[in-house]
Structure 1
Amino acid sequence: MDKFKARAKQLRTTQTSAEAKLWQALRARQLARWKFRRQHVINGFIVDFVTLDGRLVIEVDGVTHATAREAAYDARRTWVLESAGFLVLRFSNTDVYEDLEGVLKVIATTLPATE
Structure 2
Amino acid sequence: MKRLNVDRARTLRRAQTDAEQALWYRLRGRHLLGWKFRRQHEIGSYIVDFVCADAALIVELDGGQHADQVAYDERRSFELQTMGYRVLRFWNNDVLTNLESVLEVIVEALATPAPHPNPLPGGEREPR
Range class of TM-score, shorter chain? over 0.9
Indicate the residue corresponding to 1:86 in structure 2.
85
TM-superposed CA distance for 1:107, in Å, is 0.1
TM-superposed CA distance for 1:88, in Å, is 0.1
**Equivalents in 1 of 2:93, 2:13: separation in Å?**
20
TM-superposed CA distance for 1:33, in Å, is 1.5
**Equivalents in 2 of 1:36, 1:30: separation in Å?**
9
TM-score by length of 2: 0.84
**Equivalents in 1 of 2:93, 2:11: separation in Å?**
24
Indicate the residue corresponding to 1:110 in structure 2.
109
TM-superposed CA distance for 1:47, in Å, is 0.2
Q: Deviations over 1:37-78 (max 9, x none)?
A: 0000001000000000010000000000011xx111101110
Q: Which runs of 5+ in 2 are unaligned?
A: 113-128
- SS state of the match for residue 31, structure 1? coil
Give the aligned CA root-mean-square deviation in angstroms. 1.0
Q: Is the 8 A contact 1:55 1:86 kept in 2?
A: yes
TM-score by length of 1: 0.94
TM-superposed CA distance for 1:92, in Å, is 0.3
Map 1:60-75 → 2, pairs under 5 A: 60-67=61-68, 70-75=69-74
Indicate the residue corresponding to 2:41 in structure 1.
40
Amino acid at match of 1:49: F
**Equivalents in 2 of 1:79, 1:43: separation in Å?**
13
Moved over 4 A (4+): none
Indicate the residue corresponding to 1:31 in structure 2.
32
**Equivalents in 1 of 2:111, 2:62: separation in Å?**
24
